[in-house]
Amino acid sequence: MAFLRSIATTATAISTLAFSSLSSSFSHSHHSPNTDLSSNPKSNNSFRLVKTFATSPSPLLMDQNLSSQTQTDHDVLPELLTEYMVDMKCEGCVNAVKNKLQTIHGIKNVEVDLSNQVVRILGSTPVKTMTEALEQTGKKARLIGQGVPEDFLISAAVSEFKGPEIFGVVRLAQVNMELARIEANFSGLSPGKHSWSINEFGDLTRGAASTGKVFNPLNEENTKEPLGDLGTLDVNEKGEAFFTGVKEKLRVSDLIGRAVVLYATEDKSEHGIAAAVVARSAAVGENYKKLCTCDGTTIWEASDADFVPSKF
């Protein structure tokens, strides 16, 4: 952990220069004769990533009330570039996808690469909303990357709860060196309030009981709440919970190998009821493969059971 923090600290100065050249480098990448670029009518600007990532967005501060309410105003969330692989065959498919996405609040720009069957979306809309919109076009879609283009640090991570009772996905994306965006979907929980956190260890030999204390870096020990405290989740009568928001001072690179833990109650008075390890997730431009090297299965032949996020 100390080693990862040292990398993140050293990289702070470098990141300033990296983010300043982000927009120009992106405009020269990902484009080919088969690439179709479309801008949302709501904005005349192409991917203005310098503005998005070089300056801190207006954060939705997540202290004790981190997840007390599901956020519906996507404008308060920072923008990210999200990549999907979508089963598109022709220009008609491309138009259907773009037309649908451009109706979604929070989406700023849409770029479609038909040759690679890749859709890139810039905006603040939660993954859940974008996935549902793509599915409504009748096309198969899989999330393949999220974060900052050409980022040199770990910028995205995922934690998957695979049952047998509690299912869920937590996605973390680094917006800048001092801000991380968090999205979470859960099912199988009892209705009511449940505390959740990022704990020190990814040791699941005894389930949540072996994940240690709530993650808190040494320089954060004097704060009211540990940095890894994610507040509470409001679970509806169906046992489902959805959260999207941001957390200041949280660095994704410090979280790899730790665990996201869910608790039975709001006060963490007992060990957690479920836990999942935080793993590095594919960033933008890192995951264009359509074939599984282990068994030769294509992404479209895989069943929904092979993709836990598709449950949400």
The pTM for the full model equals 0.65
Q: Where in the chain is the domain with CATH 3.30.70.100?
A: 2-56+76-152+283-300
Whole-number pLDDT of residue 12: 40
Nearest to 124 by CA among 71, 164, 162: 71
Angle, vertex CA 159, rays to CA 157 and CA 164, nearest 5: 165
CATH ID of 156-280, from 3.50.50.60, 3.40.50.150, 1.10.569.10, 2.60.40.200: 2.60.40.200
Phi-psi region for residue 166, left (φ > 0), alpha (ψ -120 to 50) or beta? beta
Dihedral sign for Cα atoms in the order 104, 53, 257, 215? negative
Nearest to 248 by CA among 62, 12, 6, 52: 62
DSSP-assigned states of every residue in the chain: -HHHHHHHHHHHHHHHHHHHTHHHHHHTSS--TTEEEEE-TT------HHHHHHS-------STTTTSS----GGGSPPEEEEEEE---SHHHHHHHHHHHTTSTTEEEEEEETTTTEEEEEES--HHHHHHHHHHTT--EEEEEEE-TT-SS--EEEEEEE-SS-EEEEEEEEEETTEEEEEEEEESPPSEEEEEEEES----EEEETTS-SBP--GGGTTSSS-TTEEEEEEE-TTS-EEEEEEEET--GGGTTT-EEEE-SSSS--S--SEEEE-EE---TTS----B-TTT--BTTTS-GGG-GGGG-
Q: How many CB atoms lie within 10 A of CB 136?
A: 10
Q: Where in the chain is the domain with CATH 2.60.40.200?
A: 156-280
Nearest to 312 by CA among 109, 94, 111, 161: 161
CA dist 305 and 293 (Å) reads 18
- What's the CATH number for 2-56+76-152+283-300? 3.30.70.100
Q: How many CB atoms lie within 10 A of CB 152?
A: 10
CA dist 141 and 197 (Å) reads 30
CA dist 167 and 284 (Å) reads 26
Whole-number pLDDT of residue 76: 57
In three state form, how does the secondary structure of 288-299 look?
CCCECCCCCCEC
Q: pLDDT tens track of the chain, all 312 residues?
A: 433 334 333 444 334 333 333 333 333 333 333 334 333 433 333 333 323 333 333 332 333 333 333 444 444 578 899 999 999 999 999 999 999 999 999 999 999 999 999 999 999 999 999 999 999 999 999 998 888 765 546 688 999 999 999 999 999 999 888 899 999 999 999 999 999 999 999 999 999 999 999 999 876 556 678 999 999 999 999 999 999 999 999 999 999 999 999 999 999 888 899 999 999 987 666 666 654 444 544 444 444 444 333 333
CA dist 77 and 246 (Å) reads 7
